[in-house]
A and B are shown apart, each in its own frame.
Chain A
């Protein structure tokens, strides 16, 4: 192997892969406040951003962190922040701000066990419903849950792409295990990731910052580059100014949801393994999905008709696809590191199929053996 090849293959931690993904995605601004187990993201960015002329700032708290990131995004920067449970709770109001003002921003949440300070150094998936509903008011959201170091890298890039493409906050819901995991890191040079930028008007085209366009995502221009306009967290009409006119509000709030929910086919990534002839399905995500995958593989080797579905995208939840996958199954088992948060979604769409939550909230990972035993109960 040449030196070059050796340099390209490295042992990298999940949090570092996230930082590398952000750099690759073209992020130029990071603001954050240290919190376990996400801090390495900030440390890597603090180290690497100045070398390439980009901006890192440590703010006074998590609210300031997401505020500064949104501020940087309004003037044209791809911006992000990283945090964990308590910080994610603090950020909720401004996640809603980014949603209503349609400002692209990426929030990395390396989930730890809660509530409150909880188990700061241990993994959990307790924030996945908070990701969907944490901020007040109706809106939709995009949330992604990678389960490996390489996937963290590529899904961080995807998170930025989606934030830009849909003018929306995107949440990368890692967990402590994925964040602190060290795995082989090697970019797929044959498949360079596409890097996307926010939709801008073509030259000569009139700019309407909150136009009710058919695709749901109006053009956006940075403030301070010659097109003066107004951005607000109040409900607003097409020009960006406050409106309380019921028809306009209804159209606007509807569009905020529709632009994501109606594009679920394009956004939601769901990985399937052995689902074709499966009688029992295991559905999981994040680190739990690693154990689940191992369990399903073993069960297949033993000749059992078990399939595996992994949600890479948690939100928007692909109702139709999950319903179709669950149809006719003897049971669907949902291992996750919370008390059944995503299992509720599966139950909601899997009409007539028993959906069995498999929960763990003690900071330990689920083992493949535990999942195998659970599946065997229903086989």
Chain B
């Protein structure tokens, strides 16, 4: 193993992920990103929910908290608010972020708490064996949509924007080197930052959707991703079914929640102590 992986991976590999799964690529990018960021491992906390992606916390050597389905952001909010010095990352899948955990996700966007949320989007519920998720495109097949999915998918970028997020980027596992930098950028943003990572699940998604081999799915991502910059020059028709990668938006100067909280606490505490002193006169 390369030293960066030796340093950040625990010694409990092999992981549970299937051959061709994109989670390992995200995990490697995460390790490289932490190295670039120069964070002390002791100061990094990684919280995950339930699903394939969430098992990542088992394998990486930080303060790791593997919570319940959909609730990772709630746990992370409590930990971050009470210990804001911690570098807080949350790893989620489609269910954690957009289905059962959707409420916590939109409120985290609104609250603008300094947490980096990495949402691995493999378009399916993988751990339970391939049921459609809120990120499964319309028309695609799943074990619970054997005749095609009639549901519409969330666009994480637009969902985050509407919910008040201050940083949203989209990456993918084909552009792994770029993904490392995207994790760095998301972490450097002060506030709630969302990074959607378009990933693959050849076993539970590809097989039902004419992309049975891991390379088929990788090829699909390669062929269909366009950068934010390039997308700006393309028509809506040209952009149909394209995956637009890069930094979608970044809003500076929105108050960050833990800072506002600490400011408020400091002011109230000061006033209160002065009042007590005054009373003693």
Stretch at the interface among A73-81, A158-166, A322-330, A339-347: A73-81
Partner of A60, one of B47, B62, B104: B104
B45 pairs with A79, CB closer than 8 A: no
- Chain B residues 66 to 89 lying within 8 A of chain A, measured CB to CB, are 66-68, 71, 73-83, 85-86
Partner of A75, one of B66, B71, B82, B104: B82
Does B251 make an interface contact (CB < 8 A)?
Answer: no
Q: How far is the CB of B192 from chain A (nearest CB, A)?
A: 14
What number of residue pairs across chains A and B have CB atoms under 8 A from each other?
Answer: 136
Does A67 make an interface contact (CB < 8 A)?
Answer: yes
Contacts of B61 in A (CB 8 A): 228
When C-beta atoms are compared, the residue in chain B nearest to A70 turns out to be B75
Does B103 make an interface contact (CB < 8 A)?
Answer: yes
Stretch at the interface among A45-53, A195-203, A352-360: A45-53
Q: How far is the CB of B263 from chain A (nearest CB, A)?
A: 11
Partner of B78, one of A50, A63, A79, A225: A79
Does B237 make an interface contact (CB < 8 A)?
Answer: no
Contact A231-B64, Cβ < 8 Å, known A64-B107, A71-B74, A223-B45: yes
Contacts of B45 in A (CB 8 A): 75, 223-224
CA distance A65 to B78 in the complex (A): 9
- Taking A64-B73, A75-B86 as known contacts, 20 extra A-B pairs with beta carbons closer than 8 A to each other, sorted by chain A number, are A50-B265, A54-B265, A55-B261, A57-B81, A59-B74, A59-B107, A64-B71, A67-B74, A68-B78, A70-B75, A71-B74, A72-B82, A73-B78, A75-B79, A79-B78, A97-B67, A223-B45, A225-B42, A230-B66, A232-B66
Contacts of B62 in A (CB 8 A): 228
Instruction: Please tell me the size bucket of the interface on B.
Output: 35 or more
Q: How far is the CB of B105 from chain A (nearest CB, A)?
A: 10
Does A29 make an interface contact (CB < 8 A)?
Answer: yes
Count chain A residues whose beta carbon lies closer than 8 angstroms to a beta carbon of B: 45
When C-beta atoms are compared, the residue in chain B nearest to A50 turns out to be B268
Q: How far is the CB of A103 from chain B (nearest CB, A)?
A: 10
B104 pairs with A64, CB closer than 8 A: yes
B269 pairs with A57, CB closer than 8 A: no
When C-beta atoms are compared, the residue in chain B nearest to A231 turns out to be B65
A97 pairs with B66, CB closer than 8 A: no
Does B41 make an interface contact (CB < 8 A)?
Answer: yes
Q: How far is the CB of A242 from chain B (nearest CB, A)?
A: 7
Subset of 11 A-B contacts with CB under 8 Å = A51-B268, A53-B269, A57-B78, A60-B103, A60-B104, A63-B71, A68-B78, A70-B67, A223-B65, A228-B64, A234-B66
CA distance A224 to B44 in the complex (A): 7
Contacts of A28 in B (CB 8 A): 82
Q: How far is the CB of B52 from chain A (nearest CB, A)?
A: 14
Does A94 make an interface contact (CB < 8 A)?
Answer: yes
Contacts of B43 in A (CB 8 A): 224
Contacts of B177 in A (CB 8 A): none
Contacts of B66 in A (CB 8 A): 230-234
A57 pairs with B77, CB closer than 8 A: yes
CA distance A49 to B82 in the complex (A): 12
Contacts of A93 in B (CB 8 A): 68
A68 pairs with B77, CB closer than 8 A: yes
Does A274 make an interface contact (CB < 8 A)?
Answer: no
Does B199 make an interface contact (CB < 8 A)?
Answer: no
Contacts of A174 in B (CB 8 A): none
Contacts of B78 in A (CB 8 A): 29, 31, 57, 67-73, 79
Q: How far is the CB of A219 from chain B (nearest CB, A)?
A: 16
Does B166 make an interface contact (CB < 8 A)?
Answer: no
CA distance A258 to B185 in the complex (A): 48
